[in-house]
Chains A and B, each alone.
Chain A
């Protein structure tokens, strides 16, 4: 069987430029975890159902298990490792305050889905927006209520800060 050569792919991750040598169909998830040692994105299902591997590509939420690395040339990628600045992101603070994490496997994806949700809704998202914004992220521990409450709290804090 003829073997495909590895490809040099350049992109930004959390503001830092990177070039990796990888097979073109390698999953972005594996490149992040193995080549760049960014193990925040988790593999849950490997088929785009669970959202544990969620990252932002050019500010849009995607499942990194479904993205071949050849397609991210020149893209700007944000992983959970790039969400906090000097201090934690408001969503991260709210997750801690509300006790929205248990085993933690889904947490990076949940936080990224919530960050993307807040970005999409510059006004206050409705409860329905929050539920559909999280529909692609599965959690087997919390029963979702505390995650939901954490996101509500982050939204309310933002609204309070804007007022």
Chain B
């Protein structure tokens, strides 16, 4: 059933201070609204619990990106289309570009934003596994000021975030440290385009003299939150072997907590997650650095 429109409100502030003051006056009452590609679906289904929204689309300073020697910093309102089209992201953060290409169709990519994808906090979102691989940090702002928090640890439970009700995400910062890592991203859904993930896998490894000296594994849709698999990563050290692939696949199954739902089954998700890990590892010997397999 459709929602009753007069029960919902939206304001469109032009200044960040104005938005933050509104949020500070009534903490939790006003929710930031970016591209709306998730929120509007709930509205149409009559399931939108929040009532008051602040469009952050017109705020200055939430779009675009900056580059320093150590970081690339992306505004929270950067759309998926903009992410795909940004050369430095293609060169140094290809997994994020792949995630951006595989989220929805063009119309969704034109509206959907990186900040919105994070704050919507879906465990099936496509960008979080990439952000976990890259050690992303988030800048949270409120009327009281700004603070940086690591993205790992930001999601603390299903749709629960380490963010106060009067805060919003202003920037996403990526350390420029993975350029020479071999990188892999694969999303498995019902069809190739525009499906919501059954499993989404991002991996990166530093390979030196035929041995792995650093590894990152993160998955979507296999736990209540986007999951970095540190115990699996710990097994990926030294020369690649059949034993290493088997042991890490076994560990991965212990580390994830997939469920049965309308998109897939726990068993399928676990098996596919393991096969994606295997494909990533086998590809390490052939994929050039910095390119997603």
Contact = CB atoms under 8 A, between A and B. Distances in A.
Contacts of B106: 61, 113, 116-117, 132-133, 135-136
Given A136-B106, A136-B108, A24 B7 contact: no
Interface residues of A, number: 35
Interface stretch (A13-21, A48-56, A154-162): A48-56
Contacts of B8: 4, 23-25
A3 B7 contact: yes
A23 B105 CA distance: 28
Contacts of B37: 48, 66
**Chain B interface mostly:** mixed
Nearest to B36: A66
Interface string A91-135: 000000000000000000000010011000000000000011111
Interface stretch (A32-40, A67-75, A82-90, A145-153): A67-75
Contacts of B9: 4, 24-25
A66 B40 contact: yes
Contacts of A81: none
Contact of B44 (A1, A24, A65, A70): A65
B87 to A, nearest CB: 17
Contact of A67 (B3, B40, B45): B40
B104 interface: yes
A1 B37 CA distance: 26
A68 B33 CA distance: 10
Contacts of A48: 37, 40-41, 104, 107-108
Contacts of B251: none
Contact of B107 (A27, A46, A61, A71): A61
A137 interface: yes
B53 interface: yes
A23 B8 CA distance: 8
Contacts of A70: 10-12, 55
B41 A47 contact: yes
A136 B53 contact: no
B127 to A, nearest CB: 17
A52 to B, nearest CB: 11
Interface in B1-16: 3, 5-12
B194 interface: yes
Between A25, A65, A131, the greatest number of chain B beta carbons within 10 A of the residue's beta carbon is seen for: A25
B111 interface: yes
B55 A25 contact: no
B110 interface: yes
A25 B7 CA distance: 9
Contact of A63 (B53, B55, B108, B192): B108
Contacts of B105: 51, 132, 134-137
Nearest to B81: A60
Contacts of B41: 46-48, 66
B133 interface: no
Contacts of A63: 107-108, 111
Contacts of B5: 4, 23, 25-26
Between B7, B9, B81, B106, the greatest number of chain A beta carbons within 10 A of the residue's beta carbon is seen for: B106
Contact of B10 (A3, A25, A46, A133): A25
A49 B108 CA distance: 9
Nearest first, the 5 closest Cβ-Cβ pairs linking A and B are A136-B105, A135-B193, A24-B10, A25-B8, A3-B6
Interface of A: 1, 3-4, 23-27, 46-49, 51, 54, 60-63, 65-68, 70-71, 73, 113, 116-117, 131-137
Given A66-B41, A136-B104, 4 more contacts: A24-B10, A49-B194, A61-B107, A71-B36
26 contacts: A3-B6, A4-B5, A23-B5, A46-B41, A48-B37, A48-B104, A61-B107, A62-B110, A63-B107, A66-B36, A66-B41, A66-B108, A67-B111, A68-B36, A68-B53, A70-B10, A70-B55, A71-B10, A71-B36, A71-B55, A71-B57, A113-B106, A116-B106, A134-B105, A135-B192, A136-B194
